[in-house]
Amino acid sequence: RKEVEQDPGPFNVPEGATVAFNCTYSNSASQSFFWYRQDCRKEPKLLMSVYSSGNEDGRFTAQLNRASQYISLLIRDSKLSDSATYLCVVRQGYQLIWGAGTKLIIKP
C-alpha cells in the first residue's frame, strides 16, 4: 500500500463544475498536509496547507479528517486555468511524502 494515495485520474470536467480530489495517507503520525499544483513541465507550487479545522481560499476548500486519515480538496466553479496535476503531500518528520497526483482537465 502506498503511503499517500490519490484518485488515479485524469478528471475531465466541464468549465464551471465542482471538482473533488481525495487523498488518504497510511501513517497516523503524519503532521502536516498540503496540496500542491503542478502544470505540465513546470515545478510544483503550493496551493494550500491543510489545517485541522479545514480552510478555504476563494474557490478552493481543503479538509482534513485525522481519524480517517483522509484529505480532500474541493474546487468550485472550475476555470480552464485550473487544468493541472494536483498533488497531495504529507509531512512525516522532516520528510514530505508525495502522492502520485491527479490530473485535472477542464473543458470549455
Partner 1 sequence: DAMVIQNPRYQVTQFGKPVTLSCSQTLNHNVMYWYQQKSSQAPKLLFHYYDKDFNNEADTPDNFQSRRPNTSFCFLDIRSPGLGDAAMYLCATSRVRGPLTSGIGNEQFFGPGTRLTVL
Question: What residue ranges bind partner 1 (CB under 8 A)?
Answer: 31-34, 41-46, 49, 51, 87, 91, 93-96, 98-101
- Minimum Å gap between C-beta 79 and partner 1 is 23
- Minimum Å gap between C-beta 50 and partner 1 is 8
- Minimum Å gap between C-beta 30 and partner 1 is 9
- Minimum Å gap between C-beta 64 and partner 1 is 10
30 or 78: whose CB is closer to partner 1? 30
Nearest 5°: CA angle at 104, between 98 and 106? 160
76 or 98: whose CB is closer to partner 1? 98
Residue 60 C-alpha cell reads as: 478552493
- Tell me the three-class secondary structure of 53-75, residue by residue: CCEEECCEEEEEECCCCEEEEEE
49 or 61: whose CB is closer to partner 1? 49
Pick from 23, 4, 3: which is nearest to 72 by CA? 23
Nearest 5°: CA angle at 84, between 80 and 86? 130
78 or 102: whose CB is closer to partner 1? 102
Positive or negative: CA dihedral 30, 22, 9, 36: negative
